[in-house]
Structure 1
Amino acid sequence: MILKGFKEKSIKKQMNKLLSEKQVNVTDTKLESLGIVFNLDEIEDFEQFRTLAEHLKVLPNKLKIIAFSKKPKDMLKSWDLCYSMVDFGWKGVIKNSELQTFLDTKFDALISFYEADVIELKLITAASKAKFKIGILQNDERLNDLIIKTNINEFDVFKAEIFKYLTILNKIKNE
């Protein structure tokens, strides 16, 4: 139990380092690729993220969705790309190559859709190489570039607000 606390503290230290090195890069490039990370313990309907991507005119091959759960992997049968605490090592080292590939992908935008204060989810958001990060209100506002203040069960409001702000920022393709 003590080691778990030390591990969490080392992950927090790594996350703070990543956030302090973060550089805001505002460009007017259109949204073509999208990464989504969500907490499977809070929400199980991942199809709504596919409809969100369609609404934002992101092609299915440019969309990557991953989930995180605190439950053991053998209990998770509904989601293929689900990661858990065992995929994270000391100092925030990623032990899973698929998760590392997701983090290294330079998405035009990353949507972090979770409310829970889970350090591993925050580390995924902080470590992502995405150009623009969008999320719902968190305790640490440094994680996202655009914060939509909504509850996790109000997905339609979240979807409408993202579309509105990305249109204002000229990031959605007009076709």
Structure 2
Amino acid sequence: MFLKYFRTFSAKRVLKKSSLNVNSAVSNRPIQTVGVLVDETVFDKKENLIQLLVEKGLKSENISVLAYKTSYKKKENINYPHYSKKDISWIGSIEKNEAKEFKSKPFDLLISYYDTMKTPLEIVTHKSMAEFKVGFASSNKQLNHFMIDTQVENYTVFVDELFKYLRILNKL
């Protein structure tokens, strides 16, 4: 129990030190590829979220999803990329290949779909190679370029606001 707490504490320290070096440069290219980082512990409608993104004009083959859950059951059948807090090392590095591949993809847009500050989610968001990062206003403000003030259950409001501002920013 103590070692799990210490591992999380250590990873938070590394994240806090490295989050001071956030790249704020944003390109003016239109959005083609999208990465969605979802906290399944709180939000279990990721298929509905993806469907809404497709309805708004994004191509489903250009959307990649990575799901996070605090812990997965051993017999749980999971057929999508995922990770949990046990996949984060003491020094804040990601040890699961699916999460490593996700963070190293150069997405045009990363949607950090979580509204609570959890170290494993923040690490993937921070280390992501995405050019433009969008998240909730209640999450860590240093990690995202753009924040939307709504609740995680209101995914339709989130997507509507996202696309409204992406049009204003000439990203679509």
TM-score, scaled to structure 1: 0.90
Q: Does 1:167 align with 2:167?
A: yes
> After the TM superposition, which segments of 4 or more aligned residues of structure 1 sit over 4 Å from their partners?
none
- How far apart are 1:79 and its partner, in Å? 5.0
Between stretches 137-146 and 77-86, larger displacement belongs to 77-86
Q: How does 1:81-96 map to 2 (within 5 A)?
A: 81-96=81-96
Residue 70 of structure 1 is matched in structure 2 by: 70
Cα shift readout 1:141-168 (whole Å, capped 9, x = no counterpart): 1111110000111111111100100000
Gaps of 5+ in 1: none
CA contact (8 A) 2:117 2:140 kept: no
Cα shift readout 1:10-57 (whole Å, capped 9, x = no counterpart): 211221233211111122100000000111111111112322331443
Residue 45 of structure 1 is matched in structure 2 by: 45
CA contact (8 A) 2:134 2:146 kept: yes
Distance in 1 separating the partners of 2:97 and 2:8: 21
- How far apart are 1:76 and its partner, in Å? 3.6
Residue 23 of structure 1 is matched in structure 2 by: 23
Give identity over the alignment, percent: 28
Q: Does 1:7 align with 2:4?
A: no
Distance in 2 separating the partners of 1:56 and 1:171: 13
Q: Which amino acid aligns with 1:118?
A: K
CA contact (8 A) 1:8 1:119 kept: yes
Question: Number of residues paired by the alignment?
Answer: 172
Cα shift readout 1:107-127 (whole Å, capped 9, x = no counterpart): 001001112332111111111
TM-score, scaled to structure 2: 0.92
Gaps of 5+ in 2: none
